[in-house]
Amino acid sequence: MPEGDTIFRAARTLQRVLAGHTVTRFESVYPALTRVDVDRPLVGRTIDGVRAHGKHLLMQFSGDLVLHTHMRMNGSWHLYRPGERWRYPFRDMRVVVETAHAVAVGFNIPVAEFLTSQELQRHALLQSLGPDLAGRDVDRAEVVRRMAAHGHEPIHEVLLNQRVVSGIGNELKSEVLFVARVDPFA
């Protein structure tokens, strides 16, 4: 399962390669995404930026459109040169965003939706997320406050609660508690 650090690195790489470039091709197996592309075509839009929030990846396009994806257990984003052979079969493709210089392919992504900036601000799940530890301006006091509010729960559950702090999964939780020599059930 991709954890916050993996999504952060994917977003940073997609940002470096795609930001500022114009979409030359968009494709998806999801009817809801295809419907938006038919009504408000992606081709010709500029990719304004890509960022992560916890385990969520947000790709911002010009014209007030954001592609929100969540990888869950098996999803991943890959970058290719145009015409380069993909590492995974076409049947695993869920989303393709292509520019003149790169092809971003989302494989086995179970959650993908287009949002406007207003819908993004009202998105119940995204707005309920706790601070992202990979973010630049992490409010550590807020993280401590949220953790303290769950002081009656075992620390291993608190660390996995995405409303307390976003991006931590089983691997990070286990490694951090091991290195800190903290009993997961404390």
| pLDDT one-digit tens code per residue, 43-89 | 999 999 999 998 899 999 999 999 999 998 899 999 999 999 999 99
Q: Could you give the CA distance from residue 142 to residue 81 in angstroms, rounded to a whole number? A: 42
Q: Which of 55, 98, 131, 173 is catalytic?
A: 55
Question: Catalytic annotation on 173?
Answer: no
Q: Could you give the CA distance from residue 102 to residue 80 in angstroms, rounded to a whole number? A: 6
Question: Catalytic annotation on 2?
Answer: yes
| pLDDT one-digit tens code per residue, 101-120 | 999 999 999 999 999 999 99
User: Which pLDDT band holds residue 11 (cuts at 50, 70, 90)?
Assistant: very high
Question: Catalytic annotation on 3?
Answer: yes
